[in-house]
């Protein structure tokens, strides 16, 4: 199972929201690049970065933070939030993103999304399918569309998409457990996709349950920052077996479990 820690950014800081509510923001760390380096040192290969300022503003805001992360680490970074135009997606790739997550454009400007799919290829795009009440939510979860989840996925899977990130918004940031029934229904309908589950993960047991349900990948964040998951134990149980990238001269030594480190399990 692919384990993908998340870094959400507001004002250049590492934060988490509850159910996508910007009024329910907790700041965890001042340096997202430092957090990313700690994840890499523990053995993670992937990283999910969300520009929450960008999602709200409808254009990329924190590209400099993305650049700082990709310059400091060799993580495979997928980036989302505020990707609305050709200039936005080009800026994300120029800043070092290996993949971009796109949701709102797929709902509101399907022709543009299809052009990106043709230009960049399915391996560099992740279809964002964030769900609230069975409908796809857009623009930083500030609006709900009329799109139902499965027909939305079908349209783009038929066009060649394989990477799908699905967040159950009612679960996100709540530590209430993932929406396993939702993800299982998606995998039953589309068994060949790489589904990335997101929202609600609170402990290693939740990740075990997703793995047992056949979910290929999971994004999780708040459980890390709240100290509810021992990341070294998690990596030991679910080794990330992609070839390790060459060590960067900027990469730090693996952090000791001090208070404030993402590896702290206090």
Residue 205: inside a domain, yes or no?
A: yes
For residues 34 and 238, give the distance between their C-alpha atoms in angstroms, rounded to a whole number: 23
Residue 261: inside a domain, yes or no?
A: no
Question: Is residue 250 within 8 Å of residue 40, measured between CB atoms?
Answer: no
Q: How confident is the model at residue 247 (pLDDT cuts 50, 70, 90)?
A: very low
Question: Is residue 203 within 8 Å of residue 223, measured between CB atoms?
Answer: yes
Q: How confident is the model at residue 263 (pLDDT cuts 50, 70, 90)?
A: low
pLDDT digits (tens, 9 = 90+) for 15-50: 988 877 888 899 999 999 999 999 999 999 999 999
- Residue 99 belongs to domain with CATH number: 3.20.20.70
pLDDT of residue 260: 53
Asked if pLDDT for residue 246 goes beyond 80, the answer is no
Asked if pLDDT for residue 61 goes beyond 60, the answer is yes
Residue 262: inside a domain, yes or no?
A: no
Neighbours of 32 (CB within 10 A): 24
pLDDT of residue 170: 87
Owning domain of residue 35: 2-237
Residue 89: inside a domain, yes or no?
A: yes
Q: How confident is the model at residue 184 (pLDDT cuts 50, 70, 90)?
A: very high
* Segment 146-156 mean pLDDT: 95
Residue 146: inside a domain, yes or no?
A: yes
Nearest to 159 by CA among 194, 129, 116: 116
- 54: helix, strand or coil: helix
Nearest to 52 by CA among 89, 79, 91, 88: 79
Active-site position among 78, 130, 172, 206: 130
pTM of the full predicted structure? 0.88
Q: What single string gives the DSSP state of each residue in 112-161?
A: HHHHHHHHH-GGGEEEEEEEETTEEEETTTTEEEEEEHHHHHHHHHHTT-
Could you confirm whether 192 is annotated as catalytic?
A: no
Q: How many domains in the chain? A: 1
Active-site position among 8, 51, 53, 172: 8
Mean pLDDT computed over every residue of the chain: 90
């Amino acid at each position: 199972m692919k384990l993908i820690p998340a870094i959400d950014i507001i004002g250049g800081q590492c934060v988490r929201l509850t159910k996508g509510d910007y009024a329910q923001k907790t700041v965890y760390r001042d340096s997202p690049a430092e957090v990313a380096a700690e994840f890499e040192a523990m053995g993670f290969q992937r990283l999910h970065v969300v520009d929450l300022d960008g999602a709200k503003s409808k254009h990329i805001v924190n590209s400099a933070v993305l650049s700082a992360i990709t310059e400091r680490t060799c993580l495979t970074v997928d980036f989302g939030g505020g990707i609305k135009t050709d200039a936005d997606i080009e800026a994300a790739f120029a800043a070092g993103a290996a993949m971009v997550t796109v949701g709102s454009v797929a709902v509101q400007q399907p022709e543009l999304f299809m052009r990106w799919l043709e230009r960049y290829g399915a391996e560099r795009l992740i279809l964002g399918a964030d769900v609230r009440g069975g409908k796809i939510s857009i623009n930083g979860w500030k609006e709900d569309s009329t799109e139902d989840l499965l027909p939305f996925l079908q349209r783009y899977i038929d066009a060649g998409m394989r990477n799908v990130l699905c967040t159950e918004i009612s679960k996100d940031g709540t530590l209430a457990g993932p929406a396993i029934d939702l993800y299982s229904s998606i995998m039953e309908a589309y068994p060949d996709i790489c589904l990335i589950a997101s929202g609600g993960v609170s402990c290693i047991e939740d990740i075990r349950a997703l793995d047992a349900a056949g979910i290929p990948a999971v994004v999780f964040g708040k459980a890390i920052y709240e100290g509810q998951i021992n990341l070294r134990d998690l990596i030991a149980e679910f080794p990330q077996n992609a070839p390790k990238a060459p060590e960067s001269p900027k990469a730090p030594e693996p952090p000791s479990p001090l208070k404030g480190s993402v590896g702290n399990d206090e």
